[in-house]
Amino acid sequence: MSSADSSLTILKSELTHTDPVHRQAALRTIAQGGKRQYGLTALVIALANDPDEETREWACEALESAILPSPNEVNDILKLLRDTRDGEIEYWSATMLGRLGVAASCATAALASCLLDSPCLAARERAAWALSEIGPAARSAINALRQISHDDPPRLQRLAASAIQSVVGRAA
């Protein structure tokens, strides 16, 4: 086992530890280590609604600046997005899928559902952004994007319009 694999195994173990102090320490290592971390995306997203507040904070910190999802994590992230009604989990799942771009095209339907149905505005906005990042491969979400109307918040309207342009424009 390489040192990178070993480090990943240790981090995974710490992130799933029952003691929040261990989870916090692992997340702090990821967030402040200055390196892009791969292979931990779904685990860290799940900690964004951890019962422990400090763990949640560090999870969000790591997700914002240090977690870079890899294409082989798409299904795990997609499962999180499908299975949750928690706005924070939806928000970060959509964000990570957006970072993957076209590699997350299989998540188009789930993102469209999040865009229309999530009670969390920030999650809906990130879903629109993610569809834009996926581009023409998210063509099946066009009807959902067009359902964003003038009654919706201005930023969501702008993001949906941008996504439509990305999905249709680039395809044309």
Partner 1 sequence: MPLLRLGTRFIARQVSPTRFFGPSVSIVTLIAVFIMVATGRLNLASLDLDTLANQLGSPQDPTTLVAPVRLDRAAPRASDRIRVATYNIKAFGEKKTNDANVMQAVASIVANFDLIAIQEVRSAQSMPVARLIELINRSGLRYDAALSEPIGRSSQKEQYAFIWDTTRITMLPDSSYVVRDDADRMHREPMVASFECRVVAAQGRAPFRFTIINAHTDPDEVTSAGTLNEMNVLDDVFIRVREYEYSAKGEDDVLMVGDLNVSVPNLGELGKIPGMYSIAGSLPTNTLGTKTYDHILLDRNTTAEYTGAFGVIDYDKDFGLTPEQASLISDHRPVWGEFSVFEIPAFANVAQQNQPIR
Residues 6+ apart with CB under 8 A from 169: none
Q: Which of 153, 169, 170, 171 binds partner 1 (CB under 8 A)?
A: 153
Applying CB under 8 A, the site for partner 1 has a residue count of 35
Sole binder of partner 1 in the list 23, 43, 50, 56 (CB under 8 A): 56
Given a contact cutoff of 8 angstroms between Cβ atoms, the answer to whether 98 and 104 are in contact is yes
Q: Exactly one of 83, 158, 170, 171 binds partner 1 (CB under 8 A); which one? A: 158
**What is the nearest approach in angstroms of partner 1 to the Cβ of residue 100?**
12
Q: With respect to partner 1, which residue has the nearer C-beta, 78 or 163?
A: 163
The answer to whether residue 54 forms part of the interface with partner 1 (CB under 8 A) is yes
Closest separation in Å from C-beta 66 to partner 1: 8
Provide φ and ψ at 67, rounded to 5°: -90, 125
CB of 60 to partner 1, least distance (A): 4
Q: Which of 60, 104, 160, 167 is close enough to bind partner 1 by CB under 8 A?
A: 60
**Spatial separation of the C-alpha atoms in residues 172 and 170, rounded to whole Å:** 5
b/e burial code for range 121-139 (CB count within 10 A of at least 16 → b): ebbbbbbbbbbbbbbebbe
**Contact call for residue 129 and partner 1 (CB under 8 A):** yes
Burial (Cβ within 10 Å: 0-12, 13-18, ≥19) of residue 150: exposed
User: Helix, strand, coil proportions of the chain in percent (round to 5)?
Assistant: 80, 0, 20
Residue 169 identity (one-letter amino acid) = G
Question: By the criterion CB under 8 A, which residues form the site for partner 1?
Answer: 24, 28-29, 31-35, 54, 56-58, 60-61, 64-66, 87-88, 91, 95, 98-99, 121-122, 125-126, 129, 132, 153-155, 158-159, 162
